Amino acid sequence: MHILFIVPGWPKGSFWDVLFFKFPPLALATLAGMTPDRHKITYIDESIQDFDPSISPDLVCITAMTPLAPRGYEIADGFRKRGIKVVMGGIHVSNMAAEAAAHVDSVIIGEADEIWPTILADVEENCLKATYRQSAYTDMAIIPTANRSLYPTKKYFFENMIQTTRGCPYKCEFCTVTTFFGGTYRPRPVERVIAEVQSLARQPGYIFFVDDNFIAHNKHTDALLSELKNQRLRWVCQAPLPIAKNDALLQKMAEAGCHGIFIGFESLNSKNIEIMGKKQNAVEFYEEAIKRIHAKGIGVYGSFVFGYDHDTPAVFDQYLNFANKTAVDGAFLPVLTPFPGTRIHDRLEKEGRILTTDWSLYDMATVVYQPKGMSVKELQEGFWQVNKGFYSMSSTIRRLFRLSSLKRRSNIIFMPMNFGHVPAIRKAYRRFKSVSAGLPCGQI
């Protein structure tokens, strides 16, 4: 059987399309690793390659984030008109199964690892079901080494992505992770992780551990770090703010090759933190936390969400001042986006503040709801102000070229990222200005 995996692309010239730093979806490579060799697999990611709609597989499998779902549906409709079976999964589809069902033959709700063989068998026997859902969350012991051979050579900036756990013990209002994984946190056997590390063929010294929370299971983290120390690697991960309070853990991570930590700071306003339900964050500890992590030679990539209820137009300059003061190495600076299935979406919908359900606009760069502390226009312009300001040449030099910053080994990752973002952000802004007249009613 010929199976076609498809990742829908961003609109040309959009915020995420212009960024050079493309990352592949690990989920499809994982499913490919679970697919019997007798099947042929073709992989298409529209963000990095052209898509020939005349291709004729036996089965099309689509995964898409919320803003890419409309394009995913368009692709699905095209194949179904030709009589080709289409299945679709992922977080958006899992939350909007009825919507997706109008475009595909089968909807996969939740994780698909344990039912993937069943789906393939049903396709071969021409008895594909309309819906598939595992009876329980995936046993992490069965997750194989991802099949990265399906990725096009030299198209992704970074492809060595590995998952060591799934889920997160926290329950932040805006996050889709808890909804998808049900508040569970499941570690993968360390020996499985190390086997996958050792299997990497392209740039094996650079790894992104994509866990939403790398350190939530103490014994698992300690055992994994002990093994990674022997691999002579350079890697980055995601972890919560309290990691900065654990000097011994930070030291172990540094010794094991950690070069950067993605941390969800989310806001400089403690009232916003309270609304989010992010109890682990203490705003007054932010500066000290960054200093402690930097002291270990580890870079900090901080996430800050703009547009929460206690944000005013002053928040953008406030953040830029904070970033320059703390020399944060990189940042993810989205506008608050109430994805379907999250508590924030339910709350804003009840308050009558959702302005559109055009999912293509739910790209974390477009305002799709009515803020409280500023107008939609002020938030939209502030988003571009803070992104252009952070990823400007002057900001990059101030943050990464001070004496203390130059000593960090993490610069081998963060300097190329910052310099690559400078022209990309400006290009995306020019496109935004050219199409801003087409924003939904009420957004200006």
Are 345 and 428 within one domain? Answer: yes
Other C-beta atoms within 10 Å of 219: how many? Answer: 9
The tens digit of pLDDT for each residue in 84-121 reads 999 999 999 999 999 999 999 999 999 999 999 999 99
Give dist(CA 89, CA 61) in Å, integer. 8
The reply to whether 439 falls in a domain is no
Are 215 and 125 within one domain? Answer: no
The answer to whether the beta carbons of residues 266 and 304 sit under 8 Å apart is: yes
Q: Reduce the DSSP state of residue 387 to 3 states and report it.
A: helix
The reply to whether 266 falls in a domain is yes
Q: Which of 226, 224, 228 is nearest to 198 (CA)?
A: 228
The reply to whether 273 falls in a domain is yes
Q: For the chain, report the end-to-end CA distance as a whole number of angstroms.
A: 50
Give dist(CA 93, CA 399) in Å, integer. 40
Give dist(CA 217, CA 281) in Å, integer. 19
Find the mean pLDDT for residues 269-287.
95
Domain count, the chain: 2
Are 203 and 281 within one domain? Answer: yes
The reply to whether 154 falls in a domain is no
The reply to whether 153 falls in a domain is no
Give dist(CA 57, CA 1) in Å, integer. 8
Residue 173 has a pLDDT of 86
Query: What's 89's domain CATH number?
Result: 3.40.50.2300
Are 184 and 328 within one domain? Answer: yes
Strands (E), 276-370: 299-304, 330-332
H/E stretch holding 251 = helix 247-255
Query: What's 330's domain CATH number?
Result: 3.80.30.20
The tens digit of pLDDT for each residue in 327-343 reads 999 999 999 999 999 99
The reply to whether 70 falls in a domain is yes
**Pair of tokens at residue 258:** 């950690």
The tens digit of pLDDT for each residue in 119-154 reads 999 999 999 999 999 999 999 999 999 999 998 887
Are 125 and 193 within one domain? Answer: no
- Asked if residue 64 has pLDDT above 70, the reply is yes
Are 114 and 195 within one domain? Answer: no
Are 176 and 103 within one domain? Answer: no
Are 185 and 325 within one domain? Answer: yes
Are 90 and 229 within one domain? Answer: no
Supply the DSSP string of 30-55, one letter for each residue: HHHHTS-TTSEEEEEETTTS---TT-
Are 121 and 185 within one domain? Answer: no
The reply to whether 269 falls in a domain is yes
**Residue ranges making up the domain that contains 277:** 160-434
The reply to whether 247 falls in a domain is yes
Give dist(CA 197, CA 200) in Å, integer. 6
In this prediction the pTM is: 0.92
Are 99 and 188 within one domain? Answer: no
Are 122 and 259 within one domain? Answer: no
